[in-house]
Amino acid sequence: MSEPFDQGVQVLRQQIDAGISAYFSSCVHCGLCAEACLFYTETDNPRYTPIHKLEPMKKLWRREHTFWGKLGALLGLSEPLTEADFSEWETLVYDSCTLCGRCSMVCPVGNDITDMIRKQREGFSAAGYAPEGMKEATRRALEIGSPMGVTYATLKAALAHVEKDTGLNVPVDRQGADYMTLFSSMEVVNFPEYIAAITRIFHAAGVSWTISSEAFEATNSGIQIGNKDAAAELVNRVVTAAEKLGVKSVISPECGHAYMAIRWEGPNLIDRAYPFEVVHILELLDQLKAEGRLRLASKENTPMTLHDPCQIVRRGGVIQPPRELLNSVAEHFIEMKDHGVMNWCCGGGGGVSANERAEPLRLQAFNRKKQQLDESGVDTMVTACANCRIILEEGIEHNEMDTAVISLTELIADHLLEGGKEN
Amino acid sequence: MIGQFIDGPLWTFSLTVFLIGVVWRIAAILMAGKRPDLATPKGSAGAGALRAVFSRFLPERTVTTQGRLPLIAGYLFHLGLFALLFFAQPHIDFIAEKITGLSWPAMPHWAFIVAAEFAFAGLILLWLHRILHPVTRLLSDLDDHIGAVLVFLVMLTGCLALAQAFEPLRLIHLLSAELLLIYFPFSKLMHAFTFVMSRSYTGATMGRKGVNA
Amino acid sequence: MARMKFYCDPERCIECNACVTACKNENEVPWGVNRRRVVTINDGEEGERSLSVACMHCSDAPCATVCPVDCFYTTQDGVVLHDKDICIGCGYCFYACPFGAPQFPEDGAFATRGKMDKCTFCAGGPEADNSSDEQRKYGSNRLAEGKLPLCAEMCSTKALLAGDADTIADIYRKRIINRSASVMARGVSYRDASFRAPYSAAGKSSAKE
Amino acid sequence: MIRPKILQFDDGDGRSAGWLLLLLILYSLPLDTIAKEPISKDLPAAAVLNPAAELWRDVRQRDQPTTGSTQVRGVDSGVLINAYGDQWRKFRMQQLIPVGGYALMGIVIALAVFYLMRGKVPIEGSESDKKLPRYSTYERMIHWFMASIFLFLAITGLILLFGRPVLIPMLGKEAFSILASACKEGHNLIGPLFLFALILVFSQFVRRNIYQKGDLNWLLKGGGIVGKKHVSSNFFNMGEKTMFWMLVFVGAVIVISGLVLVFPLFGQGREWMELAHVGHAIGALLMIGVIIGHIYIGTIGMQGAIEGMKTGYCDLNWAKEHHDLWAGRAEERGEALSNEEVAQLTHNHPLPSSLGVRTQEAGK
C-alpha cells in the first residue's frame, strides 16, 4: 500500500459528515438518478448511474459507519477499500461526471449526489487517482495563476486589444472601486469579446470597476479535481486582492463553475466569510437594468434559446436574471424542453473539458444537447459560460450542426444604448 | 410455548432493538456534524429544507417520462404499506394494546385489503425492477434483497392471516414483523427515517442558493 | 342409539317465527346469522304454506362432502356438526347445501365470511359439553343436558318437531291419521287431499298427539 | 333399496299398497342425498314420511315458486331448495377433483416421457457470439409479475382443491386447516392482482400475438415437435400466440368468475356462485396445464428459450432457428449486438463456472 493511497483514504474518511452519512443511509438503490444523468441516458451503460460512481466512498462508509460493515471488518469478512477500487473508479468519478447536479434534483430521498462526488474527488486526488489533464491544470493554476497558463502578461495584451477596439479605458488595480472583475482564462484566451463587452457595458452604466493584476483568474481547478488545499489557495488569492483593493463587490465572470467556486464554496474553503459580496455578471447586469442604468435598444428577431450553465443556474441560483436579460434583447426567446434548474449539461463541466481522455464519451453525451436543440428547432443558442461555449461549439462541429452559440453578456453589449444612440 | 415467546419477550426485545437502533443511527448521523456554510445565503436554508422534504414526494418530470412503472409501483407500495400499517383495524388494535394505548379510526376492511393489494403489486414490481433493470441490478446488494424479502414476508404472512382466526398464522406474522423490526436499524430500511434528513440537508444547501430543490 | 331429526308440518306452521327467536336467544348467534328461518310460499295467496327451515342433519350431508378442510362430523345421535377451529369460511357448504342452512357472520368484500355457523340441533360442538368455549362458538348444548332443541320446544302449534326420528315419525304418523279424517270431512288439504282419501279413519274430527 | 321401516309403518291395510309406493317415491324425492344413503348400522333409519315432503317436492319440481318470503334477511334466504347445489357437489367431487387431478398428473408424466425421448432441444448452430434484444425491461417486469401472481394463485388454488384427498392424510386436519385458511385468504387477496397483470400483459403483447399467414403452416407441421425441422415463425410462433389468447380468454373467465366468488356483496345467489366456481376451476386447471408446458419449454425443454425473458437478449442462432422471420428483420435493422456489448449493457453477473458448464453440457 503506497503512501498517497493511505492519504487518499484518510482524506476520504474526513469527507464523511452528517450529510454524507444521511445520504448513504437513505439511498435505496432505486436507480432513478440514472435517468437524470446524461452519461447514462446517452450510453445506456448502467455503470454511469450517478450513485454507482460513489461505490468507493460507500465502501468506506459501510465499513466504518455501519453495523454490518464494522462487524465484517472485525471478523475480517468485508473487503477494505483498495487501490484497485480507486483505479477502477477513476474514470467514473472524473470522466463521466460533470458535477452538473441533475441527479441531486431527482433523487427521491433527496441525496445531493453531486456533492458526494465532489467530496469523493478529494480522496481520489489525494490518492493520486485523477486525470493528468486536471492534475496539470491544477498545477498550472497554483504555479502560474491560471489553469490554462494565462499570466497577467497575456491578460494585459488582451486588455490592450480591448482598449484599442472600444476606445475605452480598462481600469487595472484601481483602489476603492466598487467592483473587482474576475475572468476565466477561457475568456481571456478564446473570448476576449467578453472583456470588451463588459468594458462597454460598465462604461455605459457608469459602474466603478477594476481588474486586479494579482488575481484575475476566477476558475478554480482545485475544486474540480477535488483538492481542498489548492482550492483554498486559489480562493485566497482573490480574497486577498479584493481586500487589498478595498472593493465592495467581486464580479464572477460568465463561467459557471467559477461562480460556484468563488460565490458558494470560497468562504467555506478559506473558513471565513468575505468582507465583500460576490455577484455574477448576469446578476449585476440584471440589477443595472432594473435600476435603469443599463439601457438597451432594439431586439433580435432570430429565435433564440438559452442553455443554462449548470453551476450558474442549478447549482448557483441565478435562474431568472438570464431570462430577464435575454427577453429584453430577443423577440423570440424559446425555452428548451428541459430548462432552468432541470437543464441538461453541455457535457464538459466539472473538469471534464480539461480531461482529454474523456472526449469520446463527452461527445457521445452531447447527443442529449443535440436532441434538445433539435426539439426546440432554434438555431441560436445563448449561454453564459465560456466553458459551456467551447464544449457546445465542439459538439456542434462534431455533429455538423448549424447552431450558433453566443454569450449573453456579449449579446447585451451589442444592444447597448450608448450615449443615447444605438450602437 | 413458542407462541408465548413470540408474543412476549421477543416482541419486547425487537421493539427495543428497533427503537434504540433507530435513535442510535439518527444520533450517529447527526453527531458526524456538518460544517456551517459561510457563504452569504441568497435564500432561506430552513425554507429550502422544508420545501425539499415535501417536494420530493412528487417526482421530477424527467423521471416520470422514462421510468413510469417503477415510479407508479413505488407509490403503490409506499402508500399501500403506510395505509395498512397505520390504518388497518388489527394493527391499530395491536398498537393500542401493546405500545401506546392510543387508538384512532381505522379504514374499512375492504380499503385495508385494497391497500394491501396496492402494496403487494408495488413491492413485487419494484423487486422485479430491481433484479431485471440493468441499473438497479448493478446497484443492488444483499441488504436491498433482505429488506425487500423481509417486508414481503411480513406482508405475505399478514395477508395469509387475514382471517384472524388461526393463532399460528398470527404468530408467524408477528414473528416476521419482529424480525423486520430487529433488522430495520441495521439496514437500508432506515431510509424511512433518514430520508427527512437527506432531503433537509440538500434542501437547505439549495435553499441557501435560492434554488427550489 | 337415537337419530335426531327435525320435522316441520306445513299444515300447522303459522309463521310466528317463535322458533327463529328461540334459536337466536338460546344460542346467542351473531347478527346476520340465522340458523333457522321460516319461509312462506304463496304468501297471502291460495295454498299459502310456511315451513321452518334449518339444518336437516342429513345422513350423507353434502356440506360435509364438499368441505375442503373436512371440518364436519356426525355425532352418534345423527347430528351433523362442524369444527369452527378447522373451518376456513370458504362457503362451499353453503353452495352445496340444499336448504341454505350454513350461515356466515360476514359477507364482505374479498370473501371475508368468517367461520360458518349453522344449526347444531342444540348440541354444541366438538369442545367439552357445556364448556365456555363451546358456548361461545356454538351456543348451547341442550342435548347434553337431555333437552331437545329449543326451537321445537317453543313451537306453539307443534308444527316443528325435533327428536329421535322414530319417535317423531310416530307422532307424525298418528297426526296424519287423524288429519286424514279431518281432510275427508272438510277437504282442506294443502294441494291434493284426495290422495289421502283411502284412509279408513273417517269420522274423527280433532287431532290429538 | 330395502326400507323395512316403511313396511312396519304400513298398518297392513291391503288397500294401501299403491299408496305406500307413492309415499316411498315422495320420501325419496326431496332429498336424494338422504335417500341414497345406505342405512348404516348404528343409525336407525328414519323411514317416515316427512310432513313437509309434499311441499318440498313441489318446490323442487317447480310446481310452486321456489322462492318464498321470509323475515330473515340475506341472500337466498327465501329460497327453499338450492336448485343446483347437488349438481355442483357432484361436479366437484366426482369430476373436478379426480379428473382434474389425474389430468394434471398426466400432463407432467407426458412431459417427462417427452423429455426422456427427445431431450433438451438444442440450438443447432450452437450459441453464436451475437445476441438480439428480445424483451424490454418493462416487458420482462410484467411477464414475471404475471408469472409470480399466477404461480401463487395456482399453488394456493391447488392446495384448496386437492388438499383434502392429498394433504390431510399427510398433515392432519388441524395443520391443513391452517394452511388452507392461509391459502384461501392469500388467494382472495392476491387474486384481483391477476386482473391487473392480465391487463398489463395483454396491452403490451397483443400486437405481436395476432395470428398471421404462416401460423397455419406451423400448426400443420406440429410446431416442429413432429420431425426435427424447425418451422418458420415470427416474433411469436403459433403455439405462443395460442397460449397468449388462451391466457387472455380463459384468464378473463377466471378473473370474472373469481370476482363473482370473491365479492359476495352484490346479491349474487348460490347459483351464480356455483356456476362461477365451475368456470373458475375448469379455467384454472386448463391454464395450469398449459403453463406447465410453457414452463417446461422455458426451463428444461429448450436451450436458450428463457434467455430473452431473463436478460432481455436472446442468442442470434436461437432466434434464427425458432423465430426466423423476426430474427431476419431484426438483424437487418442492425439490432444484433456482440456478446461483449450485451454484457456491458446488462451487467449480468455470470453464473459460477460450475453452473455455467453444466447448463452448457445439458444443452448439447
C-alpha grid cell for residue A354? 480539461
DSSP SS3 for B101 = coil
Strand order of the sheet with strand A209-211? A209-211, A179-181, A249-252, A277-280
CA-nearest of D44, D43, D51, D7 to D26 is D51
- The strand pairing partners of A217, in sequence order, are A183
State how far the Cα of A313 lies from the Cα of A333, in Å rounded to an integer.
17
State how far the Cα of C153 lies from the Cα of C175, in Å rounded to an integer.
18
Binding partners of D (≥3 Cβ pairs within 8 A)? A, B, C
Contacts of D144 in chain B (CB under 8 A): 128, 132
Average pLDDT over residues D113-131: 86
Size of interface B-D (CB pairs under 8 A): 70
Residue listed under C-alpha cell 291391503 = D14
State how far the Cα of B213 lies from the Cα of C16, in Å rounded to an integer.
74
Mutation target for B interface from C71, C82, C110: give the one with most B CBs within 10 A.
Answer: C110
State how far the Cα of A254 lies from the Cα of D56, in Å rounded to an integer.
97
pLDDT of residue D112: 94
Residues A109-167 pLDDT 10s = 999 999 999 999 999 999 989 898 888 888 888 888 888 888 888 888 889 988 888 88
pLDDT of residue D356: 32
DSSP SS3 for C73 = strand
Residues D293-333 pLDDT 10s = 999 988 888 888 888 898 889 998 888 888 888 888 888 88
Average pLDDT over residues A11-34: 91
State how far the Cα of B207 lies from the Cα of B200, in Å rounded to an integer.
10
A275 lies within 8 A of chain B by CB: no
pLDDT of residue C174: 84
pLDDT of residue C185: 53
C-alpha grid cell for residue B187? 439496514
pTM over 0.95: no
CB interface of C with D, residues 117-156, below 8 Å? none
CB-CB under 8 Å, B113 with C110: yes
B56 lies within 8 A of chain A by CB: yes
Residues A263-314 pLDDT 10s = 999 999 999 899 999 999 999 999 988 888 888 887 888 899 999 999 999 9
Where do the structural domains in chain C lie, given as residue ranges? 4-164, 165-196
What's the CATH code, domain A304-422? 3.40.50
CB-CB under 8 Å, B40 with A18: no
Residues A215-261 pLDDT 10s = 888 888 888 898 988 999 999 999 999 998 989 999 999 888 889 99
Task: Give the CATH number, domain containing residue D310.
Answer: 1.20.950.20
How distant is the Cα of D296 from the closest Cα of chain C, in angstroms?
A: 30
pLDDT of residue D38: 41
State how far the Cα of A217 lies from the Cα of A188, in Å rounded to an integer.
9
Average pLDDT over residues A79-93: 88
The answer on pLDDT for D11 being more than 60 is no
**What angle is formed at CA A195 by the lines to CA A192 and CA A198, rounded to 5 degrees?**
150
The answer on pLDDT for A13 being more than 80 is yes
Check: CB of residue B156 under 8 Å from CB of residue D231. no
CA-nearest of D65, D82, D49, D60 to C40 is D65
The answer on pLDDT for D63 being more than 80 is no
Average pLDDT over residues C125-134: 90
CB-CB under 8 Å, C89 with B165: yes
- Do D231 and D336 lie in a common domain? yes
pLDDT of residue C181: 62
Check: CB of residue D318 under 8 Å from CB of residue D326. no
Mutation target for D interface from B76, B114, B123, B128: give the one with most D CBs within 10 A.
Answer: B128
DSSP SS3 for D338 = strand
Dihedral in degrees, nearest 10, Cα atoms A380, A386, A388, A392: 50
Q: Which amino acid does the sequence have at A50?
A: P
pLDDT of residue A251: 92
Closest-CA residue of chain B to D135: B132
DSSP letters for D13-80: -GGGHHHHHHHHHHHHTTTHHHHHSPPPSSS----S--TTHHHHHHHHTTSS-SB-EES--STTTTBS
CA-nearest of D174, D197, D144 to D308 is D144
- The strand pairing partners of A183, in sequence order, are A217
Q: How confident is the model at residue A4 (pLDDT cuts 50, 70, 90)?
A: confident
What's the CATH code, domain A3-130? 1.10.1060
CA-nearest of B159, B152, B151 to B183 is B151
Q: What structural domains and CATH numbers belong to chain B?
A: 2-209 (1.20.950.20)
pLDDT of residue C205: 39
The answer on pLDDT for C193 being more than 60 is no
Q: Which residue has the higher pLDDT, A296 or D10?
A: A296
**ipTM for this prediction:** 0.88
Q: How confident is the model at residue D363 (pLDDT cuts 50, 70, 90)?
A: very low
Contacts of D345 in chain A (CB under 8 A): 44-46
Within a domain: residue D66? no
Q: Which residue has the higher pLDDT, D30 or D104?
A: D104
How distant is the Cα of A44 from the closest Cα of chain D, in angstroms?
A: 6
> What class, spelled out in words, does domain A134-290 have in CATH?
alpha beta
In this complex, which of B129, B159, B166 lies closest to D189 when CB atoms are compared? B159
State how far the Cα of B175 lies from the Cα of D203, in Å rounded to an integer.
40
pLDDT of residue D53: 72
- Do D30 and D109 lie in a common domain? no
State how far the Cα of D334 lies from the Cα of C163, in Å rounded to an integer.
86
C-alpha grid cell for residue B124? 413485487
The share of chain D scoring above pLDDT 70, in percent, equals: 76
Within a domain: residue D123? yes
Length of chain C: 209
The answer on pLDDT for D236 being more than 70 is yes
User: Which has the minimum average pLDDT: A409-418, B126-135, C94-103, C121-130?
Assistant: A409-418
Torsion sign across C-alpha atoms B64, B65, B68, B72:
positive
DSSP state of C140: -
CB-CB under 8 Å, B69 with D185: no
The answer on pLDDT for C167 being more than 70 is yes
C-alpha grid cell for residue D56? 318440498
- Do D302 and D342 lie in a common domain? yes
CB-CB under 8 Å, D51 with C11: yes
pLDDT of residue B151: 95
Mean pLDDT of chain C: 82
Fold matches, A134-290 and A304-422? yes
CA-nearest of D282, D312, D332, D349 to D137 is D312
Residue listed under C-alpha cell 427503537 = B19
The share of chain C scoring above pLDDT 90, in percent, equals: 40
Distinct helix (H) and strand (E) counts, chain D: 17, 4
pLDDT of residue A190: 86
The answer on pLDDT for C19 being more than 90 is yes
CB-CB under 8 Å, B117 with D193: yes
Domain containing D189 equals 85-363
DSSP SS3 for D2 = coil
Dihedral in degrees, nearest 10, Cα atoms D356, D357, D360, D364: -170
- Do D37 and D99 lie in a common domain? no
Residues D147-204 pLDDT 10s = 999 999 999 999 999 999 999 999 999 999 999 999 999 999 999 999 999 999 999 9
Contacts of B132 in chain D (CB under 8 A): 137, 140-141, 144, 312
How distant is the Cα of C128 from the closest Cα of chain B, in angstroms?
A: 20
DSSP letters for A271-295: TS--SSEEEEHHHHHHHHHHTT-S-
pLDDT of residue D62: 61
A338 lies within 8 A of chain B by CB: yes
Residues D68-99 pLDDT 10s = 788 877 777 888 888 788 899 999 999 999 99
Torsion sign across C-alpha atoms C197, C199, C202, C204:
negative
- Do D17 and D137 lie in a common domain? no
The answer on pLDDT for D23 being more than 90 is no
State how far the Cα of A24 lies from the Cα of A12, in Å rounded to an integer.
14
Check: CB of residue A200 under 8 Å from CB of residue A168. yes
C-alpha grid cell for residue B118? 396496492
Q: Which amino acid does the sequence have at D302?
A: M
Where do the structural domains in chain A lie, given as residue ranges? 3-130, 134-290, 304-422
DSSP SS3 for C74 = strand
Mutation target for D interface from A29, A40, A45, A96: give the one with most D CBs within 10 A.
Answer: A45
> What class, spelled out in words, does domain C4-164 have in CATH?
alpha beta
- Do D239 and D354 lie in a common domain? yes
State how far the Cα of C64 lies from the Cα of A190, in Å rounded to an integer.
93
Residues A192-221 pLDDT 10s = 889 989 898 988 888 899 999 888 888 888
How distant is the Cα of C33 from the closest Cα of chain D, in angstroms?
A: 9
Check: CB of residue A11 under 8 Å from CB of residue A126. yes
Q: How confident is the model at residue D47 (pLDDT cuts 50, 70, 90)?
A: very low
Mutation target for B interface from A16, A26, A60: give the one with most B CBs within 10 A.
Answer: A26
Q: CB atoms < 10 A from the CB of A169, how many?
A: 11
Most confident option among C48-62, D67-81, D347-361: C48-62
- Do D142 and D178 lie in a common domain? yes
- Do D165 and D277 lie in a common domain? yes
DSSP SS3 for D347 = coil
The share of chain D scoring above pLDDT 90, in percent, equals: 38
The CA–CA distances, whole Å, from A345 to A42, A379, D135, D186 equal 12, 18, 31, 49
State how far the Cα of B72 lies from the Cα of B129, in Å rounded to an integer.
12
The answer on pLDDT for D255 being more than 90 is yes
State how far the Cα of A143 lies from the Cα of A132, in Å rounded to an integer.
16
Contacts of D188 in chain C (CB under 8 A): 110-112
State how far the Cα of A69 lies from the Cα of A62, in Å rounded to an integer.
5
Check: CB of residue D123 under 8 Å from CB of residue D363. yes
C209 lies within 8 A of chain D by CB: no
CB-CB under 8 Å, A115 with B205: yes
- End-to-end Cα spacing for chain D: 66
How distant is the Cα of C97 from the closest Cα of chain D, in angstroms?
A: 6
Ordered per-residue pLDDT tens for chain B, 213 residues: 788 888 889 999 999 999 999 999 999 999 988 888 888 888 899 999 999 999 999 888 777 666 678 888 999 999 999 999 999 888 898 888 888 888 888 888 888 889 999 999 999 999 999 999 888 888 988 889 999 999 999 999 999 988 888 889 999 999 999 999 999 999 999 999 999 999 999 999 999 998 887
The answer on pLDDT for C45 being more than 80 is no
How distant is the Cα of B146 from the closest Cα of chain C, in angstroms?
A: 30
* Phi and psi at residue C179, to the nearest 5°: -65, -35
pLDDT of residue A186: 85
The share of chain A scoring above pLDDT 70, in percent, equals: 98
CB-CB under 8 Å, A49 with B139: yes
Check: CB of residue A372 under 8 Å from CB of residue A342. no
How many structural domains compose chain D? 2
- Do D215 and D314 lie in a common domain? yes
State how far the Cα of A370 lies from the Cα of B121, in Å rounded to an integer.
38
Closest-CA residue of chain D to A43: D345
Q: How confident is the model at residue C130 (pLDDT cuts 50, 70, 90)?
A: confident
CA-nearest of C175, C159, C64, C59 to D47 is C59
CB interface of B with D, residues 2-41, below 8 Å? none
State how far the Cα of D353 lies from the Cα of C131, in Å rounded to an integer.
65
Give Dmax (Cα) for chain A: 80
Check: CB of residue A384 under 8 Å from CB of residue A169. no
- Do D240 and D102 lie in a common domain? yes
pLDDT of residue B181: 94
Q: Which amino acid does the sequence have at D119?
A: G
